[in-house]
Amino acid sequence: MTDGDGRRFGLASPRMALALGAVFAVLAVALVPLSLIAGQDPLVNGSEAIGTIPFAVVGVVIARRQPRNPIGRLFLGIAGCLLLSVDSGFYSVISYRLGHHLPLAAVALFLYELWGPGLLLFALVILLFPDGRLPSRSSRWALRVFVAALVGFTVALTAAVAQAVSGHHVRLDAYDGLVAIDHASGWFAATQTVLSLIGVPFLVWCVARQVLAWRRAAGERRQQLKWLASGVTVATVSLVISLLTSGEDASPVERVLANVIWAGIIALPVCIGVAILRYRLYEIDRIISRTLGYAIVTGLLVGVYAGLVLLATQVLTVKSPVAVAVATLVAAALFNPVRRRVQRIVDRRFNRARYDAERTVDAFATDLQGAVDLDSVQDGLVDVVHRALEPAHVSVWVWDGGAGGPPVAL
């Protein structure tokens, strides 16, 4: 094989990334037949597999556009770990719970537990964002410690699964995982504790470094870090809510709801992909302001709605259907006025460019009402466009008033 072939078909090559993307697509499709054979609802774990698709897609795109950036391969690794975990869970149920004795069933028990290391790879993505380079020498030492802990945990996980299989202690929990792993005790529990003591501080340290970098950054770099922060925030909130609302005693509906909320983790690969590829990079301020604006408006209107219903039913003793109807009409009538006022306040803080542009245009419209000189109007228009949009060139076309005459550029 020549050096050119190695570059085309190596682990970091665009073609290899595309091949891995195709394999992950097959794993995602395999979820449906495996879940049906296992006698389980694919919606229970389906959202977990669907949530991995953006990781694979963004990983393939980054790997093809920027082959030397390891973040693309990290995303492919995360997608592979999560997809193998979901599929292996159903495979283990078919083999051990239903008693079909499928080949490589013990391997499936190990592959199911890859969801943990897969999630920990997020820390590396945050550390290496956006160009895949380590920021300092201390980062190299921290990375080595983290990778060593992750490799050690993987070896311990393999040994724990082998011990359970050889000792015929295979018992699956409600989430299709091995009880000896998910509810560990003894030496493997100590291994999990060591990984947590290393992994969690490492993740916090990676986030802290990016926060400090954001405080010092400007221009394009600052916008990239805003995308990263937005993705991490949405993904973290979704993950925490999903973990808090799920449990072994949860009903199927609650588990489906928890998985749907968990799917919000896809915000992380999407935001990072936009930041690395610089696609619509400068729209993050608008997205943040819109998200905050609608979240605040929703909270205010829900509070008004609940307050009116309680006031009408508990204090004024109005019949419940009438109270609900009146509260709904009031909330609907308040939506647009509240939204405009809240959005203006949020834009002033989080989308200053749009806020300043609106103020500039409003001031020009006010001045235009009393303007009579065409030249001053043209000069004012050009000045407003420059301040609001900052274009590279501005031309004003004015009709000269002649019949059939062409417009004149000024």
398 and 312 co-located in one domain: no
Phi first, then psi: what are they for 303, rounded to 5°? -65, -40
- pLDDT(235) > 60: yes
Give 146's pLDDT tier (boundaries 50, 70, 90). very high
What pLDDT score was predicted for residue 4?
Answer: 44
Contacts of residue 193, defined as CB under 8 A and 6 or more positions apart, other chains included, come to none
Tell me the pLDDT tens digit for each residue of 36-71.
888 876 665 566 667 788 888 898 889 888 888 899
pLDDT 10s digits, 316-329:
666 667 777 777 78
CA–CA distance, 122 with 112 (Å, rounded to integer): 18
CB contact set of 236 (below 8 Å; sequence gap of 6+): none
Amino acid (1-letter code) at residue 275: A
Reduced 3-state DSSP string for 177-202: CEHHHHCCCCHHHHHHHHHHHHHHHH
CA distance 232 to 189: 28
CB-CB neighbours of 221 under 10 Å: 14
Give the domain range for residue 179: 3-208
In 167-283, which ranges are continuous DSSP H helix?
179-182, 187-216, 220-245, 252-262, 267-277
Handedness of CA 60, 62, 67, 72 (dihedral sign): negative
pLDDT at 3: 43
Q: Domain boundary at 334, 350, 366, which?
A: 350
State whether 324 and 396 are in the same domain.
Answer: no
Q: List, in sequence order, every residue forming a beta bridge with 398; answer none if it has no partner.
A: 408
Cα atoms in the Cβ-side hemisphere of radius 13 Å centred on 137: 0
Give whichever of 145-154, 284-293, 311-320 has the largest mean pLDDT.
Answer: 145-154
Residues 295 and 383 in one domain: no
Instruction: Give pLDDT, residue 367.
Output: 65
Where does a domain end: 174, 208, 242? 208
Residue range 377-391, pLDDT digits in tens: 666 666 666 555 555
Are residues 167 and 315 part of one domain?
no
pLDDT tens track for 390-409: 555 666 666 655 555 555 44
Among candidate residues 43, 120, 107, 129, the one with its CA nearest the CA of residue 77: 120
Question: Does residue 117 have a pLDDT over 70?
Answer: yes
Residue 214 forms part of a structural domain: no
